[in-house]
Amino acid sequence: MKTIKGPALFLAQFAGDEAPFNSWDSITKWAADCGYKGVQVPSWDNRLIDLAKAADSKDYCDEFKGKAAENGVAVTELSTHLQGQLVAVHPAYDTAFDGFAAPSVQGNPEARQQWAVDQVKMALTASKHMGIGAHATFSGALAWPYIYPWPQRPAGLVETAFDELAARWLPILNHAEDCGVDVCYEIHPGEDLHDGVTYEMFLERTGNHDRACMLYDPSHYVLQCLDYLDNIDIYKDRIRMFHVKDAEFNPTGRQGVYSGYQPWVDRAGRFRSLGDGQVDFAAIFSKMAANDFDGWAVVEWECAIKNPEDGAREGAQFVKDHIIRVTERAFDDFADGGTDLAANRKMLGID
């Protein structure tokens, strides 16, 4: 068993143009003041990090980590959620996702994809420079528009999509192997890897690549009505990253999983600040500890109702209260009578 590291905070939802959220120095001081011991970094946000420099210079990475440590937090992981999304984009989403890319490749899907691949590879190299062994990303999606089987899908459509998805990611996964870094796909609606079955389809096509791992986030499973506790036991050997995010699912006679195109606040399934939703985090932290999870508990604040700064501060304490400092001895050691092989054989009647 292992004690989970944390609490840490994913900075993507907090970075902005106003202090203290507009620079690496000030946002890490703020995170530490909220009670966090680590931060997960959105690598696309140049207010916080210069990804090209981080990939090119270990000295830059040492300075980057050093400033965070000086301010009281560790760098837990880098994230390429937005860039990973662009590794595979169905044409229906070209316009919607174009804003994730550099202006020089917008409007050019082929150039945008290559840019995205290069971005993820740079982030993996930067992770190596920082001595970080896990990296957070999205898989992107080619089959997502066909998630519901109407009209009937032609035979082989989904299989072809996953063949192509794996082909696009294999060079990245091989680079990750060279860097000694796990690629942790956040299993997430909107991605072709959105549940365990789709993850397994992808994993099979990558030859069960050692670096093709999981970012576990129970909130996305609540909204899919998926058993998020069983999921931990099934994929415990592949779960290398953990987003602590709450959610609730309250279907009515008018709406369910699809929620009638309603905005977040009016949906049956909503993300909530920690402690305000339905996720059984006591059970999750117990399973993580028992399964030797060796990573960080990273708060990802997303809530349709609560102020983000309140959610962040409450989230730090929530995680502190849930991290289990694992025991180093059995609770019944006081009753140990002391035995040896001869005594054991005698007790079994085989002496």
How far apart, in whole angstroms, are the C-alpha atoms of residue 229 and residue 287? Answer: 8
Angle at 78 between CA 72 and CA 81, to 5 degrees: 135
333 pLDDT band, cuts 50/70/90, is low
| pLDDT tens per residue across span 67-90 | 999 999 999 999 999 999 999 999
CA atoms of 133 and 89, how far apart (whole Å): 27
Superfamily of chain region 5-347? Divalent-metal-dependent TIM barrel enzymes (3.20.20.150)
The span from the CA of 210 to the CA of 19, in Å, is: 41
For 128-159, how does the pLDDT look when each residue is reduced to its tens digit (9 = 90+)?
999 999 999 999 999 999 999 999 999 999 99
Classify the C-alpha dihedral 119-217-302-270 as positive or negative.
positive
Mean pLDDT of the chain: 96
Tell me, what's the pLDDT at 339? 74
pLDDT of residue 344: 87
Q: Which of 56, 68, 66 is nearest to 23 (CA)?
A: 68
Chain segment 175-233, per-residue pLDDT in tens? 999 999 999 999 999 999 999 999 999 999 999 999 999 999 999 999 999 999 999 99
Cβ pair 115, 77 in contact under 8 A: no
pLDDT above 70: percentage of residues in the chain = 97
Q: What is the rounded average pLDDT of the residues 89-99?
A: 97
User: How would residue 332 be classed by pLDDT, with cut points 50, 70 and 90?
Assistant: low
Nearest to 89 by CA among 81, 99, 79, 97: 97
Q: What is the mean pLDDT of residues 311-315?
A: 98
pLDDT score, position 203: 98
- Contacts within 8 Å (CB) and 24+ apart, 145-153: 145/90, 145/92
For residue 259, give both structure tokens: 């929620």
Q: Which amino acid would we find at residue 17?
A: D
- pTM of the entire structure? 0.95
pLDDT at 49 over 80: yes
Q: What is the mean pLDDT of residues 10-30?
A: 98
**Residue 159: what pLDDT?**
98
Backbone angles phi and psi of 166, in degrees to 5: -65, -40
- What contacts 116, CB < 8 A, 6 or more positions away? 83, 84, 85, 86, 87, 101, 140
If you average pLDDT over residues 236-261, what whole number do you get?
Answer: 98
Phi, psi at residue 318, to the nearest 5°?
-60, -45
User: Model confidence at 57, in pLDDT bands (50, 70, 90)?
Assistant: very high
